[in-house]
Amino acid sequence: MTRPPPPRINSGVQPVVRLQTREPGPAKLHGEHRDPDGRATPETKAREVLKLERARQRTAIRKMNATHEELAVTTQVLLELLSDPAFVALLRAHGFNSIPRILHQRLMERR
């Protein structure tokens, strides 16, 4: 529910004391600015958008780091397995005579 606008005085004289009734609502955050109608200012809106974008980017970075770590572990495990002659013989016995080029390149970079 919005607050009714203050009464207009046609004489051009502004009232000295204006009583403000504030409806209960969410508490303001420290540094949050609102215009007289109670709406957030453009600066506050921009700050909130930047805060959300920062959180989104932090989440993306966390996910990228986790993926990078998983890829490093997987690469290390594959290198260890492919260095075992018994494992390579087992792969060949089941018809796996080659590996994809991109995987081979990545494994050769890690050696």
Position 67 scores a pLDDT of 97
The two three-digit tokens of residue 106, written as one number: 């990545």
Percent of the chain that is helix, strand, coil (3-state, to 5): 55, 0, 45
Quote the pLDDT of residue 33: 63
Q: Which two tokens stand for residue 108?
A: 């050769």
Of residues 21 and 93, which shows the higher confidence score? 93
Q: Cα(73)–Cα(70) distance, rounded to whole angstroms? A: 5
Residue 37, SS3? coil
Lowest-confidence pick of 22-36, 58-72, 97-111: 22-36
pTM confidence score: 0.53
- 89, two tokens: 């013989």
Spatial separation of the C-alpha atoms in residues 51 and 38, rounded to whole Å: 21
pLDDT digits (tens, 9 = 90+) for 49-103: 999 999 999 999 999 999 999 999 999 999 999 999 999 999 999 999 998 999 8
d(CA 68, CA 56): 18
At residue 13, φ and ψ (nearest 5 deg) are -95, 130
pLDDT higher than threshold 70 for residue 2: no
Cβ proximity of 63 and 55 under 8 Å: no
Q: What is the mean pLDDT of the chain?
A: 80
The rounded percent of the chain whose pLDDT value lies above 70 is 68
pLDDT(30) > 70: no
